[in-house]
Chain A
């Protein structure tokens, strides 16, 4: 969309790519190829509305790059969706899949619509219309959609059903994010949180620190945080502080217990959205302190796993002297200024798209299982996840050490390089 001024998500994604391309001294042909998505579909989805009228929605699907395998990426329902947003996100998916070394490319899709204005039946019509338009251009071997902003498992099942109706067979591998029993994979709830700690464990190993000697402070108490804490406890670590949003007081609180938090105890007083009851927490022996103090704790490890932009220029200076590792469980928790400060202090950062890649890895496992129509037990899923995350981490950190790169840059270098290699070997660039 040609808008005046301001910034553009796609332009940002491109400039980020350009920076890494410079680092790896990428030739112009490969640059040109990777700066632009390989394929884009723009199409209309006519829908008969509940009141009998007809409304036409605009849909997109962008396949940025499928050199390493079928494109993978979510479908967003958003009222102000733009093709540039979708392009940027599809590019980001390419890097994300490559950094954990799973054989998938990057894609993204979207429909310009606001589900707040749509009934479920109308949303179903959009989902089915989306697949009717794209039935020949997606598939288990070419492009695999998944849930994203304002879409969920229900939307995926409608799409799957439409796809299978058109192709006359059962193709559960065409879509991920399905419920267990309908082609979904076990371990999805745990995957992201566990993935964070698999990489954290490797980082500690690398820094030659025994997990049992470490303490951590965690921002957030949602899914990611809870499972990260669970596994971190299992490997011997002690979490002394967690923070979460308090709906009643409209501010975050942090819950601190020097001898370590009791995960099960806290879970029992937590609502489904990750809010902890302050009064009961006090009863359990927690100090309730302002939420932003999670970052000031005297710990070895910080795990921001709640919001974007949590570590900023304002608070990066408050990070305790002891802190050695920041494992980014959330997406984009560190602002660029803060990132520079962390770099300067020599804090070991496990960048978000590596640390929280457990989720996309599990989606890949779901697709694998769907394609062979054989589903693994939990142990098998988590075991394979461990292997993937560990080797992904090792690849990045080795490079970082070898070339003295900042971890975030190293991750991009590894990932982009893998994609470039695949393109080159195919003779594309």
Chain B
């Protein structure tokens, strides 16, 4: 495409510019349709021209009075109402340098003078391009004819015995001289190889030298044949006449045909393997290759694989595991199809990136692998257009924005401060005309459905899934006039581009030492799967599915049964974990088992909110399911699959649409209809199995269903983030350091550095005096949940945590009582004859899933499982000191400070589902294998910096406090800052021993409030976490300390005591 398309000098006014852009878009559309016409009518020139002739007039400035005529190969096609006039633009169609016809465009009436008569210079170029395309087409057809003739002749060859090779070769010589020459040369070479003297002589330039000697040395000296320069000789029939004396007709024809195919493949390969060839050149070569060899089966499998590997590397990604799988599954025609949907910057060397690659690959695997025994249903790919990764650099270059590249080397707070400006800058920049044209074509193809602009970063290829979600994905409502839609799309892409320079991704890259890696980001422009209902646009449902499930609520569920999270509406709510909402969980391999069984449980853990696109406002809205369903009612796609009707405490099938009264119906998203009455889950299970088998790794996929079709939106190796990798099980731990070991129903994961264990002793609990005492244990656990360091303690207890009703069966906690634990362990200790069933966390299963609390069942009486009761019995119990009011429960409830009980060691838990083993063992906190994860996942993230900075600030505050003025006796720090566990969002817990009066109290709190706010602002700049105040202030009096009420208990506490800070040291210095 012309690079300067937007620059037609005369019309530089804004309106003129827009008009000119629209013209370019028209031309591109025209060209696109011409190509499409030629592609769809591969076998009939007449049909092809029929379509082409209609596609031409819309590309011209005055389509209404524009008529076209094409004459070629004896055909003469004209637009309807054609009339020859003086206002004509002509371009000749030539094949192999010979004119074979022409394309003519007429205006029926005169129009103002432009570059060439009433025609624009771009239109001249356009007609030439069209003529060129038709020329290619004719040539291709001729070649195909030649090939067909050959095949026919070859079949007759043996029987007839005449020199039937002659006429097809003549045809070849006429249509492609270069190819004919190469083939003739190959023939001679071949003859030479099989030891025909004459051929050797010819190759040696007519001098028959030492033929006998060479013959005796056989094939070894064949390569020594110097190249023959005599084209005249080759162009004559001579080589083939020579051949026909030694070879059969069939052999000649077969060899010639194979050489022709290989020739095309090797030309293509040459283009692919040349690192300097750009994407447009590759696409062009691919087009020629595709058209030249309609039947790929004639190529050797090795040739095909080589081509596929090269194409994958150049177009999709270089990631080696991916390439290995792709070469078996993504065919050359797939790349060809893909290339028709790429918007390629001039001279691009970019790739589509990990997300696009994963999607394309998964789709192709599924397309080719369904078997009747394991049906996978239909899988569709949403209409998608791709912008290769160097589009970002193209954009930056076009707008002279190179300065932003250095952004990543600035301080985080500087990056954060400047980021809004970068977003603004990007959004006010323009795209190169070639990209704009491409986007325009894409928009015409995508039509006016809502779009999502997603990033497909090359860093994802390197980092795996851990990096996903760092860049923005934007929805575009895609409403309004074409130019409005185009502007909105460009705006969205600019914003996604800008997110590359956002503080969070840069910080993330910095932590992983990938700052120097030049960020290139591919873009996907994808239709949102869904349909319009009223003013909303939404899919029937969407979700994510994992081929391996780390969360299982029943021993009947195997890890390989997978897990799917389903939500009605857009999938955003299934992908993210939101505290106050739940996706529906189903197990594809065990579709009949449900995480929630009682009706109130099902209702409570059903999706409450739904994300939809409001087409009127063009924004995503989060709507309450109840309210939205009253509005949409029977129009909701797959209503009866997604929802159930809650009536009289029973979940029923939703009445048929004709009977439905949406106002009164109480609809709950249960997906019962999908799980029970449709093969959906069976298909999904097969899809996951298949993808896992082909990709050689557990996968997760994202999908959506618009009510009619199932769309696969993303496929990637299953996330290994969130501490859910299989952890190695150390075998060399000395037995006295093993706290527990389990070997049944183990999930993957690990929990590092546990400092506290809350242990409910099975025997002690069973011997409590009664129900009230058992309930008190639950209340005590709830209080400990708030007092112990978050995610640094674990709960171990008998039977079923969360047991309701019969509290003997387990501690009757609610989720709020355990929300801060890192892990929940249920001990099934044999009681006489039987081993109690465990709950598998079913009482709050979905809460555990959403907050990633680990769960482990422990059967200490079985096999190799152990529970080191000696450790628990031996360790001193902090309960009486921490919660004096519950000290009477000490026999049943123990709070153990692990480092205190084990000479400074901490507890680590490693869980490995592959081995079905888990171990909790004591270890030195300094032993620096904090994260048992593969190296590439390993982060250099240092939580250190968060607490260090906070502690430093706390010290400075203390130093600045004037004890006289504020009536302060002492200042302490405790909690995460003191314990070196602070995260980016943690606040600083300050404990102030106060002895002043009310006035001093007010002065002190307002003074500290100022500090808190200032620190919050600093913390925001450092981390991006917004808080009101970073100080959590607790004032305690002498009385509090004496009575050890509330936080005063932290002063001089047995465990996790507050640390005193030196005070007032900075006063004299005038801070």
Q: Residues on A close to B: CB < 8 A?
A: 3-7, 9, 12, 50, 78-80, 82, 85, 114-122, 147, 149-150, 152-154, 177-180, 184, 188-189, 246-248, 250-251, 271-273, 309, 335-336
Contact = CB atoms under 8 A, between A and B. Distances in A.
B595 interface: yes
Contact of A6 (B592, B624, B668, B808): B808
B853 to A, nearest CB: 13
A273 B837 contact: no
Closest 7 A-B residue pairs measured CB to CB?
A: A119-B592, A248-B580, A153-B650, A5-B767, A115-B597, A179-B648, A7-B770
A374 B769 CA distance: 50
Contact of B772 (A121, A154, A336): A336
Given A4-B766, A247-B580, A153 B597 contact: no
Interface in B280-329: none
B772 A147 contact: no
Given A3-B831, A271-B608, 20 more contacts: A4-B767, A5-B766, A5-B767, A50-B592, A79-B837, A80-B809, A115-B597, A115-B598, A116-B554, A116-B595, A116-B597, A152-B649, A179-B647, A180-B647, A188-B648, A248-B579, A248-B580, A272-B668, A273-B600, A309-B775
Nearest to B648: A179
Most B C-beta atoms less than 10 A away, residue of A80, A177, A251: A80
Given A6-B768, A6-B808, A118-B593, A272 B553 contact: no
A116 B842 contact: yes
A247 B556 CA distance: 29
Contacts of A6: 766-768, 770, 808
Interface string B19-36: 000000000000000000
A177 B819 CA distance: 35
A250 B652 CA distance: 30
Interface stretch (B42-50, B179-187, B799-807): B799-807
Contacts of A179: 647-650, 652
A7 B592 contact: no
Contact of B556 (A5, A117, A120, A180): A117
Given A6-B768, A119-B593, A250-B819, A272 B649 contact: no
B842 A9 contact: no
A251 B816 contact: yes
7 contacts: A7-B769, A114-B837, A116-B594, A117-B556, A121-B592, A180-B647, A188-B648
Contact of B649 (A3, A147, A309): A147
Interface residues of B, number: 55
B385 interface: no
Contact of B805 (A50, A78, A335): A78
Contact of A272 (B593, B666, B769, B774): B666
Contacts of A309: 775
B704 to A, nearest CB: 25
A121 B599 CA distance: 16
B228 interface: no
Contacts of A150: 597-598
Interface in B767-797: 767-772, 774-775
B593 A116 contact: yes
B639 to A, nearest CB: 18
Contact of A273 (B595, B604, B771): B604
A272 B768 contact: no
Most A C-beta atoms less than 10 A away, residue of B597, B800, B839: B597
B840 interface: yes
A5 B806 CA distance: 15
Contacts of A120: 592, 676
A403 B837 CA distance: 48
B646 A153 contact: no
A3 B766 contact: yes
Interface string B615-655: 00000000010100000000000000000001111111000
B589 to A, nearest CB: 12
B208 interface: no
A250 B626 contact: no
Contacts of A85: 805-806
Contact of B646 (A4, A7, A272): A272
B603 A272 contact: yes
Most B C-beta atoms less than 10 A away, residue of A78, A116, A118, A273: A116
B555 interface: yes
A177 B836 CA distance: 31
B815 A250 contact: yes
Contacts of A272: 603, 626, 646, 666, 668
A122 B593 CA distance: 10
A154 B647 CA distance: 11
Contacts of A115: 597-598
A152 B769 contact: no
Contacts of A189: 648
A80 B772 CA distance: 20
A246 B581 CA distance: 11
B31 to A, nearest CB: 54
Contacts of B580: 246-248
A149 B775 contact: no
Contacts of B806: 9, 78, 80, 82, 85
Nearest to B667: A272
Contacts of A117: 554-556, 593
B805 A149 contact: yes
Nearest to B819: A250
A250 B816 contact: yes
B649 A177 contact: yes
Contacts of A271: 608, 624, 626
A246 B580 CA distance: 8
A7 B808 contact: yes
A152 B651 CA distance: 9
Contacts of B839: 79
A5 B668 CA distance: 44
Contacts of A251: 816
Interface string B742-777: 000000000000000000000000111111101100
Nearest to B624: A271
B18 to A, nearest CB: 44
Given A50-B592, A116-B840, A152 B805 contact: no
B837 A80 contact: yes
Most B C-beta atoms less than 10 A away, residue of A150, A184, A250: A250
Contacts of B652: 179
A402 to B, nearest CB: 32
B571 to A, nearest CB: 21
Contacts of A121: 592
B800 A80 contact: yes
B342 to A, nearest CB: 44
Most B C-beta atoms less than 10 A away, residue of A120, A180, A247: A247
Nearest to A153: B650
A233 to B, nearest CB: 23
B828 to A, nearest CB: 11
A287 B597 CA distance: 36
Given A188-B648, A271-B608, A12 B593 contact: no
A5 B556 CA distance: 33
Contact of A152 (B594, B598, B771, B803): B598
A308 to B, nearest CB: 8
Nearest to A80: B809
A2 B806 CA distance: 16
B557 to A, nearest CB: 9
Contacts of B809: 80
Contacts of B819: 250
Contacts of A147: 649
Contacts of A114: 554, 837, 842
Contacts of A335: 772
A97 B590 CA distance: 42
A272 B605 CA distance: 11
Contacts of B805: 78, 85, 149
Contacts of A247: 579-580
Contacts of B767: 4-6
A246 to B, nearest CB: 8
